[in-house]
Chain A
């Protein structure tokens, strides 16, 4: 049952990813990416981690994709011209780097004990527990957590500063 579900979900995730790259229309691309995110969320469920499932849906499928769609729609850039790529070596370089990433991932997977059977029972129960995750974030990974927070804050302040429109001063407004 589990293997069956995994194969279906993985196939959907892969199909979504491939279709996303190959589609010409940017909105269709975004929708295939959404399909991929959804399938990955289900994979998290199969890994007994409902917490990551919910986070994947909220953060990726919800927040990021909505912003992305929004930008694409506002810019009206949904149709790509059929003109050849502006940078000729872009595609081969992308392919090479993708292959490299795949190799690194495979090497890590084969060298570690990732293929050992998953721990069962109590270990599984504690695996996706939000309380345990939170405790780890605030003890063992406190510094990275805080640094991430500051980076996000900087981004927020940057948006506010860049978006500020110059308002006419009161004195200028009077002379208008």
Chain B
């Protein structure tokens, strides 16, 4: 590897890390303002114009807080846990394509499914042939930070939060994997870039509607966000796994949660919403090439694709805040039921659908719409079966105890 390439890589790492961290800071503001609007309040609007400096104020406050380590904590693991939480959330960005800015000026290569020369796309850090597996692998090691934080704090509420998180994350990982697998089967590749390229005609949400629904639910549970935020249920667990953490160490956990939320939204955009694609992008590239040459065309395509990606991402984040404002937290047994008895079987059924339909119907567009119909039908049936949950009576009444003697 020559040194220039290495330098570009290092700069890319820095830029993405800083961009993601800044995005986290402003996502908190975005969320607080939106939540306030949903609840008919105003929200933070004092620091700077429209509360624009609120994240800065929060960061400064967290930096200057006293850094306490509980005396009963397991010191090393206690200090290690925030790092183990935040690192997977950051390295997951390596394979997500933000856009396609081909450095050599050969912008057509971005749209070519059978490209032979490796892309020099500076808007994606690593184009590897197992990108999707990498995403799943990094998600699966993300559990450690939370679990270890819960254990190392030596506090029963933290411990309960940690155990809840381990159970929840392991359960929903399966449904998430099943949904992603169906996408991989549809496009026949593990490469994230190739998946975006293959969504030239229909976006992934059409053939994989069922997978999209499963992915949205499972990924919300995977980033422990409301309505699946049992890990940090204030009423039951004080604060959950991060009860004993303060100052910047708490901020790292907070950051992890939001960066993961942005990451799963970006993954959803990549798999189901055409990634950086926007209709007419190729026409735009061709038009600018005749006007101003291939390099300008390449830059234009790159910037427009980046813009499209970010726009879709913001739409997903808005949706996520909306969900948080709308739904109350699930009960723990309902959460497990949903993951194991509904999402996982639906995911497996969807894999079977995908396999059978694409073999039986050679025409891809037709097959996509058949899959869409099957997915909607299955969802309607599942909702119909699930409509009347029978109340389970697990309560022992005092009068029963008296009767029993």
Q: Which residue numbers of A lie inside 8 Å of B, CB to CB?
A: 1, 25, 27-28, 31, 34, 50-51, 53-55, 57-58, 61-63, 65-67, 69-70, 73-74, 129-130, 176
Q: Which residue numbers of B lie inside 8 Å of A, CB to CB?
A: 1, 74, 76-77, 80, 128-130, 133-134, 136-138, 140-141, 143-144, 147-148, 151, 159, 162-163, 166-167, 169-170, 173, 190, 400, 404
Cα A53 to Cα B159 with chains together (Å): 31
- Residue of B137, B138, B163, B170 with most chain A CB atoms under a 10 A cut-off: B137
Contacts of B130 in A (CB 8 A): 50-51, 53-54, 130
Contact in complex: B77, A31 (CB < 8 Å): yes
Please tell me which one of the listed residues B77, B137, B190 contacts residue A28 in the complex, with CB atoms under 8 A apart.
B77
| With known contacts A31-B77, A70-B163, A50–B140 Cβ distance under 8 A | no
Contact in complex: B147, A69 (CB < 8 Å): yes
Task: Return B344 CB to nearest CB of chain A, in Å.
Answer: 12
Contact in complex: B143, A66 (CB < 8 Å): yes
Contact in complex: B77, A54 (CB < 8 Å): no
Contact in complex: B136, A54 (CB < 8 Å): yes
Cα A163 to Cα B170 with chains together (Å): 18
Contact in complex: B144, A73 (CB < 8 Å): no
Contact in complex: A61, B141 (CB < 8 Å): yes
Contacts of A69 in B (CB 8 A): 144, 147-148, 151, 166
Task: Return A129 CB to nearest CB of chain B, in Å.
Answer: 7
Task: Return B32 CB to nearest CB of chain A, in Å.
Answer: 33
Contact in complex: B163, A54 (CB < 8 Å): no
A176: nearest residue on chain B (CB-CB)?
B400
Cα A47 to Cα B163 with chains together (Å): 36
Cα A176 to Cα B397 with chains together (Å): 11
Contact in complex: B147, A66 (CB < 8 Å): yes
- Which 5 pairs show the lowest CB-CB distances between chains A and B? A62-B140, A54-B133, A57-B137, A58-B137, A54-B137
Task: Return B75 CB to nearest CB of chain A, in Å.
Answer: 11
Contacts of A57 in B (CB 8 A): 137-138, 140-141
- A and B contact pairs by CB, cutoff 8 A, 22 listed: A1-B1, A25-B74, A27-B151, A28-B77, A31-B80, A31-B148, A50-B134, A51-B129, A51-B130, A51-B133, A53-B137, A54-B134, A55-B137, A57-B137, A58-B137, A62-B173, A67-B170, A69-B144, A69-B151, A130-B133, A176-B400, A176-B404
